[in-house]
Amino acid sequence: MVKTIYAITAAVLVTALFVSAVAWVVLRPAPSANVVEIYHWWTSGGEAKAINALVDVFKTKYPDVAVIQSPVAGGAGYVFQAVIKPLVLAGEAPDAFQMHAGYEGKPYFDGGYLDSITNLWKDEGWEPVIPKVVRDMVTFDGNYYAVPVNIHRVNVVWYNKQVLTSNGIDPTTLTTWDALFAACSKLKAAGVASPIALGDSGAWTDTHVLEQIIASEGIDFYQNWVNGKVTSATDSKLLDALTKFKTYLSYVNTDHSALTWDQAIAKVITGEAAFSVMGDWANGEFLVANKVYGTDYGTFAAPGTEGMYGLCIDCFQHPKGVKHPDNSLNWLKVVGSKEGQDAFNPIKGSISARTDSDTTKYGLYQKAAIADFKAATHMYPSVTHGSGAPTTFTAKLNDIMSAFVMNKDVSAAATALTDATKAASADYTTVWSL
């Protein structure tokens, strides 16, 4: 009896193994399967909708190629960076991955992990239609190594129009941090518990706000900062910026550390909060919530940065030795194309990286952003979003800011920031002239 049970069990197991093996052979993707695999961190409502629109353009052009999206949640790529680096270093890079322009690509270039795509740039005719400021940020040693899909503006304050109107606050008067903070005090007195929305479960959002305050200290100061020249912990502008950020924090929601950036923006959308400093990917969230720019919500430049355009530029590249090199290049063609960019950016909140975009496809916020970009007196590369400073510096930034949000110690943060700059001094190889 026992023997029979063993025999039946063994037969069942062998059959199951056989069926699984056949299923694996039949169903597994062939190594040469016609796919393109792309990694990115676009998982919020607006972000996911935008990348899907770009993928749709690719699918209409290359219907035989299956697109595998591998999204890694976490705004600004703060989780993504830890996932992608080991893959690239192990020779397992996907066919293309999201990357910021500027310094973020440098370790990959230095390590020889990227192929030059200068020929693609020439063949696709991108040079004449992509502004020099953007081209320079995807160039290493005179060759192109990435394709920009957009230009995001980082120095933007988003506000709920109804909350301001019903409290008699005119957003056009909020041109200094003091004026913004006075408006916050007024709102608090009127019962708005947390006038500013913050979601810093990924500490990059703290760094993001500090960065715009640093820009408001003047373009010369910002330039010094990204050139690695702010090295004194008693620098009056650095201390002033941190002090202003401390005041900013006194108006934010108590649950900030549990929230993501888009959950914070949701508070502005619903009117629970009045303001939030965030890049214009926030526009994508207002749009998916069916809010109307100028009616439900509005924006103004972060106080003191009027006329400046803080740049965050998303790119893709052609890693060396990818599994589907032709599909990788075809993906880049769509990323850099007018059609691809005009499908992606109106949803994403950014403007096209191309000067020949069809502006009729863009909403009111972006039409204003296109005009502001053209009229900008200064453009500055975001440090929070990978472009402005070496990765050896930015790798420490979020930890420093997390500590600051906890202890509010201005002098300790100034020391930590300037120490990080000094430790990375050899890596400040780009000389920014803003």
Return d(Cα 40, Cα 79) in angstroms, integer: 11
Q: Using CB under 6 A, list all residues that contact ligand GAL.
A: 41-42, 47, 75-77, 152, 279, 281, 312, 314, 385
> Smallest distance from the beta carbon of 386 to ligand GAL, in angstroms?
7
> Smallest distance from the beta carbon of 38 to ligand GAL, in angstroms?
14
Closest CB to ligand GAL belongs to which residue? 75
| Counts for the chain of helices (H) and strands (E), in that order | 18, 14
Measured between alpha carbons, how far apart are the two ends of the chain, in Å?
Answer: 86
Nearer to ligand GAL, 211 or 235 (CB): 211
Give the DSSP H or E segment for 158: strand 156-160
Alpha-carbon dihedral sign for residues 15, 18, 20, 22: negative
> Smallest distance from the beta carbon of 86 to ligand GAL, in angstroms?
20
Q: What 3-state class would DSSP assign to 301?
A: strand
Nearer to ligand GAL, 57 or 238 (CB): 57
Nearer to ligand GAL, 282 or 322 (CB): 282
Taking a C-beta distance cutoff of 8 angstroms, is the pair 267, 195 a contact?
Answer: no
> Smallest distance from the beta carbon of 351 to ligand GAL, in angstroms?
12
Taking a C-beta distance cutoff of 8 angstroms, is the pair 230, 295 a contact?
Answer: no
Nearer to ligand GAL, 73 or 179 (CB): 73
> Smallest distance from the beta carbon of 75 to ligand GAL, in angstroms?
3
Nearer to ligand GAL, 152 or 267 (CB): 152
> Smallest distance from the beta carbon of 314 to ligand GAL, in angstroms?
5
Buried-state track 4-22, b at ≥16 Cβ within 10 A, e below 16: eeeeeeeeeeeeeeeeeee
Nearer to ligand GAL, 244 or 385 (CB): 385
Complete DSSP assignment for 306-355: TTEEEEE-EEE--BTT-S-HHHHHHHHHHHHSHHHHHHHHHHHSPBPSST
